[in-house]
Amino acid sequence: MINAAWIALFSPAAAVVLIALLGMRIRRFTAGLIAAGATLVSFVCSVIVFVTLLGEHPEERTHYSTLWTWLSAGSFKVGAQILVDPLSVFMMLVVSGVGFLILAYAVGYMHGDEQERRYHAYKALFVFSMLLLVQSGNLLLLLAGWGMVGLSSYLLINFWHFRATAVAAGKKAFIMNAFGDATFVLALFLLIQRTGSVDFRVVFKDGVLPHGGTIAVLVALGLLGGAVAKSAQVPLQTWLPDAMEGPTPVSALIHAATMVTAGVYLIARTNVLFELAPVIQHLAGVLGAITILLAGLIALVQTDIKRVIAYSTMSQIGYMFVGVGLGAYGAGLFHLMTHAFFKALLFMAAGIVIHALSDEQDIRRMGGLARALPRTYQAFIVGALALAAIPPFAGFFSKDAVLASAANAGTLGWILWGAGAVGAFLTALYTFRLLFIVFWGEMTPFAREHLHVRRFEGGLAMAWPVAVLAVLSTIGGFLQVPGAWAGVTDWIDPVAQSIEEASGTTFAFSLIVTLALSVTGILLAWRFWGRLSPVPERTRRRYPWAARTLEQKFYFDQAYDLVFYESSSRAGVLLTQYVEEPVFLRSLRDLGLGVRFAAGRLSTVQSGSVRAYALALGAGAAVIVLVFLLVS
Amino acid sequence: MTTALILVPIGGALWVWITPWRTARGPGGLALLVALAELALWVGTTANFDFSSSRPGGLQFDTKVVWFKDLGVSYNVGLQDFTLWLVGLTVLATAAAVGYGFWVGRDRPAAYLGLLLFLEGAVVGVFTAHDLLLFYVFWEAMLIPLYVLIGVWGGPGRLGATVKFVVYTMAGSLLMLVAIIAAGLSAGSFAFADVGGHQSVWIFLGFTAAFAVKAPLWPFHGWLPDAYRESTPEVAGLLSGVVSKAAAYGFLAIALPLYPGALDDWRVPILVLASIGLVYGSLLAFRAPDVRGVIAYSSLAQMNLIVIGLFATNASGNDGALLQMVNHGLISLALFLLAGAVERRTATGQLALLGGMARGRPVLATLLITTGVIALAVPGSTAFAGEFLILNGIFTVGWGWAVVGAVAIVLAAMYILRLVSAVLHLDVGSAVPEAALDLRPAEIGVIVPLVAVLLFLSFWPAAITDHTRFFGG
Please answer whether residues A345 and A329 qualify as being in contact, where contact means their C-beta atoms are separated by less than 8 angstroms: no
| Residues A79-122: tens digit of each pLDDT | 999 999 999 999 999 999 999 999 999 888 888 777 888 899 99
Q: Single out the residue of A122, A177, A186, A258 nearest to residue B378, CA to CA.
A: A177
For chain B positions 52-71, those within 8 Å of chain A (CB to CB) are none
Output A129 or A587, whichever has higher pLDDT: A129
Task: Give the pLDDT confidence score for residue A456 in this predicted structure.
Answer: 65
| Residues A166-184: tens digit of each pLDDT | 999 999 999 999 999 999 9
Q: What is the 3-state secondary structure (H, E, C) of A497-539?
A: CCCCCCCHHHHHHHHHHHHHHHHHHHHHHHHHHHCCCCHHHHH
From A306-320, A500-514, A564-578, the region with the lowest mean pLDDT: A500-514
Please answer whether residues A191 and A203 qualify as being in contact, where contact means their C-beta atoms are separated by less than 8 angstroms: yes
**A148 inside 8 A of chain B by CB:** yes
- Average confidence (pLDDT) over B322-338: 96
- Average confidence (pLDDT) over A286-303: 92
Q: Single out the residue of B114, B127, B160 nearest to residue B42, CA to CA.
A: B127
Spell out the alpha helix ranges (H) of B190-243.
Answer: 201-214, 224-230, 233-238
User: CA B400, CA B391: separation in Å to the nearest integer?
Assistant: 10
- Average confidence (pLDDT) over A492-519: 82
Interface contact flag, B319 A69, Cβ < 8 Å: no
Question: How many C-beta atoms surround the C-beta of residue B107 within 10 A?
Answer: 8
| CB-side neighbour CA atoms (13 Å) of A256 | 33
Interface contact flag, B380 A69, Cβ < 8 Å: no
**Confidence check: pLDDT of A206 > 50:** yes
- What type of residue sits at position A16? V
Q: Which helix (H) or strand (E) holds A322?
A: helix A305-325
End-to-end CA distance of chain A: 97
Task: Please give, rounded to a whole number of angstroms, the shortest distance from the CA of B274 to a CA of chain A.
Answer: 16
Of all residues in chain A, the one with the smallest CA distance to B466 is A72
User: CA B462, CA B439: separation in Å to the nearest integer?
Assistant: 32
| Residues B229-277: tens digit of each pLDDT | 999 999 999 999 999 999 999 999 988 888 888 888 889 999 999 999 9
Q: Which among A68, A569, A588 is the nearest to B222, CB-wise? A: A588
**B432 inside 8 A of chain A by CB:** no
Please answer whether residues A497 and A335 qualify as being in contact, where contact means their C-beta atoms are separated by less than 8 angstroms: no
| Cis-peptide into B219, omega within 30 deg | yes
**A215 inside 8 A of chain B by CB:** no
**B401 inside 8 A of chain A by CB:** no
**Confidence check: pLDDT of B472 > 50:** no
Q: Residue A214, exposed/middle/buried by CB under 10 A (0-12, 13-18, 19+)?
A: exposed
User: CA A555, CA B34: separation in Å to the nearest integer?
Assistant: 62
**Confidence check: pLDDT of A595 > 80:** no
Q: What is the 3-state secondary structure (H, E, C) of B34-90?
A: HHHHHHHHHHHHHHHCCCCCCCCCCCEEEEEEEEECCCCEEEEEEECHHHHHHHHHH
**Confidence check: pLDDT of A416 > 60:** yes
Sign of the dihedral defined by the CA atoms of residues A67, A207, A230, A510, in that order: positive
| Residues A231-249: tens digit of each pLDDT | 999 888 899 988 898 888 8
Interface test with B, best of A129, A183, A568, A577 (most B CBs within 10 A): A568
User: CA B390, CA B381: separation in Å to the nearest integer?
Assistant: 14
- What type of residue sits at position A282? H
Task: Give the pLDDT confidence score for residue A502 in this predicted structure.
Answer: 62
| Residues A537-585: tens digit of each pLDDT | 888 888 888 888 888 888 888 888 888 888 888 888 888 888 888 888 7
**Phi and psi, residue B63, nearest 5°:** -135, 140
Of all residues in chain A, the one with the smallest CA distance to B372 is A151
Q: Is A586 helix (H, G, I), strand (E, B) or coil?
A: coil
**Phi and psi, residue B64, nearest 5°:** -140, 115
**A592 inside 8 A of chain B by CB:** yes
From A425-429, B55-59, B353-357, the region with the lowest mean pLDDT: B55-59
Torsion angle of C-alpha atoms A156, A159, A163, A167, degrees rounded to 10: 50
* pLDDT-based confidence at residue B67 (cuts at 50, 70, 90): confident
For chain A positions 44-73, those within 8 Å of chain B (CB to CB) are 68-73
Sign of the dihedral defined by the CA atoms of residues A350, A351, A357, A362, in that order: positive
Task: Give the pLDDT confidence score for residue B338 in this predicted structure.
Answer: 96
User: CA B25, CA B29: separation in Å to the nearest integer?
Assistant: 6
**Confidence check: pLDDT of B410 > 50:** yes
Q: Residue A603, exposed/middle/buried by CB under 10 A (0-12, 13-18, 19+)?
A: exposed
User: CA B339, CA B372: separation in Å to the nearest integer?
Assistant: 12
User: CA B193, CA B215: separation in Å to the nearest integer?
Assistant: 24
A317-321, B160-164, B409-413, range with greatest mean pLDDT? A317-321
Interface test with A, best of B229, B414, B456 (most A CBs within 10 A): B414
In Å, what is the CA distance from A534 to each residue of A368, A531, B285?
A: 19, 10, 53
**A25 inside 8 A of chain B by CB:** no
| Residues B12-34: tens digit of each pLDDT | 999 999 988 888 888 999 999 99
Q: What is the 3-state secondary structure (H, E, C) of A191-217?
A: HHHHHCCCEHHHHCCCCCCCCCCHHHH
Task: Give the contacts of A338 (CB within 8 A, at least 6 positions apart).
Answer: A386, A394, A395, A397, A398, A473, A476, A477
Q: Which among A23, A167, A193 is the nearest to B395, CB-wise? A: A193
Q: Which among A73, A179, A580 is the nearest to B315, CB-wise? A: A73
Please answer whether residues A200 and A137 qualify as being in contact, where contact means their C-beta atoms are separated by less than 8 angstroms: yes
Task: Please give, rounded to a whole number of angstroms, the shortest distance from the CA of A221 to a CA of chain B.
Answer: 14
User: CA A614, CA B358: separation in Å to the nearest integer?
Assistant: 73
| Residues A343-366: tens digit of each pLDDT | 999 999 998 888 888 888 888 888
**Plot region of B369 (φ>0 → left; ψ -120 to 50 → alpha; else → beta):** alpha
User: CA B252, CA B309: separation in Å to the nearest integer?
Assistant: 10
Q: Single out the residue of B194, B67, B231 nearest to residue B137, CA to CA.
A: B67
Give the single-character DSSP code of B217.
P
For chain B positions 335-374, those within 8 Å of chain A (CB to CB) are 356, 358-359, 362, 366, 369, 373
**Confidence check: pLDDT of B55 > 60:** no
| Residues A365-386: tens digit of each pLDDT | 888 888 888 888 999 999 999 9
Q: Is B431 helix (H, G, I), strand (E, B) or coil?
A: coil
Q: How much is the pTM?
A: 0.92
**A563 inside 8 A of chain B by CB:** no
Question: How many C-beta atoms surround the C-beta of residue A410 within 10 A?
Answer: 11
Spell out the alpha helix ranges (H) of B74-131.
Answer: 81-104, 109-128
Q: Single out the residue of B90, B91, B83 nearest to residue B57, CA to CA.
A: B83
**Phi and psi, residue A485, nearest 5°:** -150, 160
Task: Give the pLDDT confidence score for residue B423 in this predicted structure.
Answer: 94
Cα-to-chain-centroid distance, residue B287: 24
Q: Single out the residue of B116, B164, B119 nearest to residue B138, CA to CA.
A: B119
User: CA A122, CA A259: separation in Å to the nearest integer?
Assistant: 14
Output A83 or A443, whichever has higher pLDDT: A83
A292-301, B197-206, B426-435, range with greatest mean pLDDT? A292-301
For chain A positions 264-293, those within 8 Å of chain B (CB to CB) are none
Interface contact flag, A585 B226, Cβ < 8 Å: yes
For chain B, percent of residues with pLDDT exceeding 70: 98
Q: Which among A145, A150, A575 is the nearest to B284, CB-wise? A: A575
User: CA B106, CA B104: separation in Å to the nearest integer?
Assistant: 6
Of all residues in chain B, the one with the smallest CA distance to A586 is B222
Which neighbouring-strand residues pair with A199?
A138
Q: Single out the residue of B436, B275, B315, B294 nearest to residue B371, CA to CA.
A: B294
- Average confidence (pLDDT) over B131-139: 94
User: CA B116, CA B232: separation in Å to the nearest integer?
Assistant: 12
- Average confidence (pLDDT) over B113-142: 95
- Average confidence (pLDDT) over B387-412: 92
User: CA B161, CA B38: separation in Å to the nearest integer?
Assistant: 30
Interface contact flag, A179 B410, Cβ < 8 Å: yes
- Chain B residues within an 8 Å CB radius of A583: 219
**B455 inside 8 A of chain A by CB:** no
Q: What does R_g of chain A's alpha carbons equal in angstroms?
A: 31
Q: Single out the residue of A476, A469, A477 nearest to residue A98, CA to CA.
A: A469
User: CA B441, CA A182: separation in Å to the nearest integer?
Assistant: 39
User: CA B140, CA B163: separation in Å to the nearest integer?
Assistant: 16
Task: Please give, rounded to a whole number of angstroms, the shortest distance from the CA of A341 to a CA of chain B.
Answer: 29
In Å, what is the CA distance from A207 to each residue of A191, A192, A274, A570?
A: 13, 15, 13, 47
Interface contact flag, B473 A188, Cβ < 8 Å: no
In Å, what is the CA distance from A372 to each residue of A77, A109, A361, A438, A469?
A: 60, 19, 17, 11, 21
Task: Give the pLDDT confidence score for residue B199 in this predicted structure.
Answer: 63
Q: Which among A71, A189, A584 is the nearest to B222, CB-wise? A: A584
Interface contact flag, B421 A188, Cβ < 8 Å: no
Task: Please give, rounded to a whole number of angstroms, the shortest distance from the CA of B374 to a CA of chain A.
Answer: 11
**Confidence check: pLDDT of A445 > 90:** no
**B51 inside 8 A of chain A by CB:** no
In Å, what is the CA distance from B376 to each residue of A118, A147, A603?
A: 21, 11, 53
Please answer whether residues B297 and B281 qualify as being in contact, where contact means their C-beta atoms are separated by less than 8 angstroms: yes
Q: Is B290 helix (H, G, I), strand (E, B) or coil?
A: strand
Q: Single out the residue of A490, A96, A88 nearest to residue A268, CA to CA.
A: A88
**Confidence check: pLDDT of A484 > 80:** no
| Residues B83-93: tens digit of each pLDDT | 999 999 999 99
